[in-house]
Amino acid sequence: MSFSSHNIAVPHSSMPFTTLKVIVFAAVALLSLLLQPAPDNAFPYHYEEGKSWTYETLTAEWDYPLYKDDEAVRIEQQSALRSYAPCFRWTNNHRQNVPILSAKDMRQVEKGGYDHITVVNNQHRTKAIPLSHLYTPKMAYEQTGREMEVNLEYDSLTSAEVYRGIIESVSLTEGAVLKGETIVEYGQIITSDIYQRLYSLNRIYEQRGLSRQHIVWSYTGRTLLSLIFVGLFVLYLIAFRKPLWEQTRASLFFCLLIALMEMLSALVLRLTDASLIYLLPFAWIPILARMFYDSRTAYFAHLTTIMLVSLSVPDPFLFLLLQLPTGMVAVVSLKDLTRRSQLAFTAIYILLTYAFVYTLYNLMLTGDASRLDPHLYLYFALNGLLVITVYSLVYLFEKMFRLVSSLTLVELSNINSDLMQTFAEQAPGTFQHSLQVSNLASEAAKSINADALLMRTAALYHDIGKLAHPGWFIENQNGGDNPLLAMSNRDAAKAVIAHVEEGDRFAREHRLPDVVRMFIRTHHGTSLVRYFYNSEVNRLKAEHLDTATHIREEDFRYAGPKPETKETAILMMADAIEARSRSLDTYTEQSLNDMVEQTVAYQIEDGQLAETPLTFNDLSRIKEVFKERLKSMYHHRIQYPDLKK
């Protein structure tokens, strides 16, 4: 099984710190457990009025009362409180014929909208006095012309007791559900009556509270599920993406992504309305993972994330139903990322997927379009807008983990960039050679499911080192003198070999990604500069000198390293084949086929491909692509006849 990832092409860039990686992934599972809400209700069902009951038929295990909903109780209590009036007691001046309140108490009575007060005597007997019969000292003086003192004082304790008694007199229940009675059947729409039954049963569970055993089992289940979800992702990496598992930075990358979405989800669920969870762009996970790695790994990372978050959301089934296809759409739409606008289209596809799946699911359950929640469509739209902000995260993760994204590769492959324009102007022959190699290599990569985008980009830069001395290379000489021929064979070979080191220097100066630099360093491997080596051997033989004594093969070989990935191996082959194709005397199908076979055979014999994972089947496909592309490049054209005089 093969896969392409432009962030595993750099050999020896990471160490398999297995213990560290296991700890990091275990920390992600622990974080999921810590961020989940504490078990505060033993009721094991989620329900909403107007939705379908998706569990088994529920039957009452015991008799229990039907609770009124909070709004109904509040209305009844407000109605009962209309009979309430604040309570007062007589003071020592109660013998006065006129009931007198302090000005402050009078204002409070009037402000409360009461039309009377309740007077309590020492025998706890009560008497209602209308507001119109009450006076303040000032009002009494104006009425009688005599000064009178306050003889009624507010009794806060009695008032609170009366108020509480009225509140408690309102029954919280109405009717009951008997043991064995069906509460709701599977697939039944939850009407207001059924909702009341479920709500009442939920209240009973809350009143009983959670037993210690229930809490222990709840945390045990949560812990094991979190470990299983994370563990399955780890097993996937070990079984199918071993190069990624061996990269510590890859493990840290995925763990950070998953942890980021876990924390954002916890904040939303704890601080806001739970429905706002659909505002979070979970598509960030597959999009970011796809930009740096392969599609399958991206979807597995998404799957792991949403399964961990589903342990906290109120309706995990609906959550998973919406997030699973959204992740699929994100991965599929970015399968071949070649331009920035694709991300905008991906955001639109994600919005449509959310809306479409939610609408169909609710219509399936309720059969009533009026029960669709319009707020969710707004959240889906905002979610799509947030998806586009992944641009900023791409560059952040590139800097943090020294990764290269598909977007960066697309930008680097732009031949209108300043560096590419300089390349085309100062070394036009080499630039054209690089374009041809780019086409050959990318097509060959597609044939074996390697990273075609990486190949297309890296091939454009593989010979960038020739910019240091473009005139030394025959493709830039336009038939003029070759300055290398004026040098000794050894010096000429060193001059040719130096373009690899110069290319790496150019790459560092222009801050090209490490993975592109690796293509520059490996595109010749440790191969021999055969033209000058053979010339030196022939010179020594003509002078009757011992070649074993007077020539060192190492002086005519590139420093390497050899290719270690499929992509770097393809570039080596494409570079050599394109260059050699220009030296053929005739361009026939047979000559092109022989040239491809001989070039690849020599590289295999020289050990240049020994460290790559290429199979014989891969080599066969690659060579076939090279042959077909070369035939199309050098196909025979019809000669147009001249006009006869």
Residues 432 and 462: their CA atoms lie apart, in Å, by: 12
Indicate if 513 and 474 belong to the same structural domain.
Answer: yes
Among residues 302, 391, 292, the alpha carbon closest in space to that of 9 is found at 292
Does residue 319 sit in the same domain as residue 443?
no
In a domain, 181, yes or no: no
Separation of CA 109 from chain center: 61
Query: CA-CA distances (angstroms) from residue 79 to 75, 168, 285?
Result: 6, 13, 54
Confidence (pTM): 0.71
Do 240 and 136 belong to one domain? Answer: no
For residues 449 and 584, state if they share a domain.
yes
- The maximal CA–CA distance of the chain, rounded, in angstroms, is 149
Residue 152 lies in a domain: yes
pLDDT value, residue 644? 65
Q: What is the DSSP annotation of 363-391?
A: HHHHS-GGGS-HHHHHHHHHHHHHHHTHH
When pLDDT is averaged across residues 546-566 and rounded to a whole number, the result is 87
499 and 625 in a single domain? The answer is: yes
294/437 same-domain check: no
Q: Which of 366, 385, 405 is the last residue of a domain?
A: 405
Task: Please tell me the predicted confidence (pLDDT) of residue 334.
Answer: 83
Backbone angles phi, psi at 477, to 5 degrees: -90, -15
Q: How many CB atoms lie within 10 A of CB 348?
A: 13
Does one domain contain both 528 and 485?
yes
Range of the structural domain that residue 125 is part of: 75-169
The reply to whether 162 and 262 lie within a common domain is no
The pLDDT, as a whole number, for residue 336 is: 67
Does some domain include residue 186? Answer: no
CA-closest candidate to residue 292, choices 513, 107, 473: 513
> What SS3 state is found at 176?
strand
Residue 21 has pLDDT above 90, yes or no: no
Answer yes or no: is 362 within a domain: yes
Q: Which of 369, 388, 405 is the last residue of a domain?
A: 405
The 3-state secondary structure of 572-600 reads: HHHHHHHHHHCCCCCCCHHHHHHHHHHHH
Residue found under tokens 């889906």: 380
Same domain as 232, residue 162:
no
Residues 467, 523, single domain; the answer is: yes
Domain for residue 45, yes or no?
no
Q: Is the pLDDT of residue 555 over 80?
A: yes
CB neighbourhood size of 58 (10 A): 19
- The CB-side HSE value for 536 (13 A sphere, CA atoms) comes to 23
- When divided into structural domains, the chain yields a total of 3
Domain edge (last residue) among 376, 405, 434: 405
Residues present in the chain in total: 645
pLDDT band at 1 (very low <50, low <70, confident <90, very high): very low
Whether residue 417 is found in the same domain as residue 399: no
121 and 28, same structural domain?
no
For residue 454, being part of any structural domain is answered with yes
Residue 433 in any domain: the answer is yes
Please give the structure tokens belonging to residue 488. 């000794």
- Residue 3 belongs to some domain of the structure: no
Would you place residue 40 in the very low, low, confident or very high pLDDT band (cuts 50, 70, 90)?
low
Q: Which residues pair with 126 in a beta bridge?
A: 120
**Higher confidence at residue 635 or residue 341?**
341
pLDDT of residue 448: 93
CB-based contact 86:118 (threshold 8 Å): yes
